[in-house]
């Protein structure tokens, strides 16, 4: 079991759904919930990633990681997965909206398709999945929890990742709106802002070379480049009984990076200067 401050049985019998759960942080979240007793289903677009993730989790934890193919941009597939969860479990206790897309590019050079793709995955996808899962979440006997994964430029500027910034800002607002609308259904809705985790997608689309990694690293006051295990602990906390009085809020777990500098501004100027 990965190092954890929480009891192994903290989520015993709880039903958890994680989007974008086949790779990166999403898979790290899935592992953490499995190790703490939950039943977990993940969804992603690529079946090969899902089957690989399930085999990996079985090998590492001895538990079954359930999965379904789903594209958060396609509401029909979202509804199909929600129906599958209803038919299989009848309810949900936790939803983690983790599916995302991002890449570095100047706004003036961004195509309509590029803009729409990121908005559709991050903002629209979070709304689609949350809405489809709402009937399942409100059936949780002890109350349920949604955690939306955002970024530390959601409440400021997002130069050279303007599509992602606009989408994450929308998700933060949506988080607070749903927290109020769904409070009577005992559904808590919060956001988690992770630090820099060098997943494969981050390395490919955001950390353009070793100098970019060093730039980010030098501007993180505490903890440096982090890992999926530490970020999973933040999600576990937000979904735990200890956070039962927290809703409509965000947990910033970036080591204070947001207080220091806008790294994408520095990186973008270096890469896209005339």
Residues with catalytic roles: 153
- The residue to which tokens 């906390």 are assigned: 237
At residue 63, the 3 state secondary structure works out as: coil
Integer angstrom CA distances of residue 17 from 9, 88, 195, 214, 255: 18, 12, 22, 34, 27
Name the β-bridge partners of 42. 18, 67
Say which residues have a Cβ less than 8 Å from residue 7's Cβ, sequence separation at least 6.
36
For the chain, state the CA radius of gyration.
18
- The residue to which tokens 């955001």 are assigned: 206
Q: Are 259 and 221 in contact (CB under 8 A)?
A: yes
Say which residues have a Cβ less than 8 Å from residue 101's Cβ, sequence separation at least 6.
117, 118, 121, 122, 164
**Continuous H helices in the chain:** 24-35, 47-61, 75-88, 112-119, 125-137, 162-181, 200-205, 210-218, 228-239, 257-260, 263-272
- d(CA 161, CA 15) in angstroms, rounded, equals 34
């Amino acid at each position: 079991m990965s190092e954890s401050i929480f009891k192994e049985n903290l989520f015993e019998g709880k039903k958890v759904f994680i989007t974008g759960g086949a790779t990166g942080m999403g898979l790290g979240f899935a592992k953490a919930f499995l190790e703490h007793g939950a039943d977990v289903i993940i969804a992603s677009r690529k079946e090969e990633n899902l089957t690989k993730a399930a085999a990996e989790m079985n090998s590492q934890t001895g538990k079954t990681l359930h999965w379904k193919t789903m594209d958060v941009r396609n509401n029909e597939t979202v509804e199909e997965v929600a129906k599958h969860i209803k038919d299989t479990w009848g309810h949900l206790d936790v939803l983690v909206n983790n599916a995302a897309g991002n890449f570095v590019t100047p706004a003036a050079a961004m195509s309509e398709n590029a803009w729409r793709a990121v908005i559709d995955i991050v903002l629209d996808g979070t709304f689609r999945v949350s809405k489809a899962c709402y009937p399942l979440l409100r059936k949780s006997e002890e109350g349920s929890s949604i955690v939306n994964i955002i970024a530390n430029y959601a409440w400021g500027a997002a130069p050279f990742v303007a599509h992602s910034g606009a989408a994450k800002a929308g998700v933060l607002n949506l988080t607070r709106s749903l927290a109020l609308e769904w409070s009577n259904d005992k559904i808590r809705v919060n956001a988690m802002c992770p630090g820099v985790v060098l997943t494969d997608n981050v390395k490919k689309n955001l950390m353009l070379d070793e100098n970019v990694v060093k730039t980010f690293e030098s501007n993180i006051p505490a903890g440096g480049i982090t890992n999926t295990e530490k970020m999973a602990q933040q999600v576990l906390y937000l979904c735990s009984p200890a956070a039962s009085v927290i809703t409509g809020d965000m947990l910033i777990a970036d080591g204070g990076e947001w207080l220091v500098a806008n790294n994408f501004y520095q990186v973008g100027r270096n890469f896209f200067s005339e």
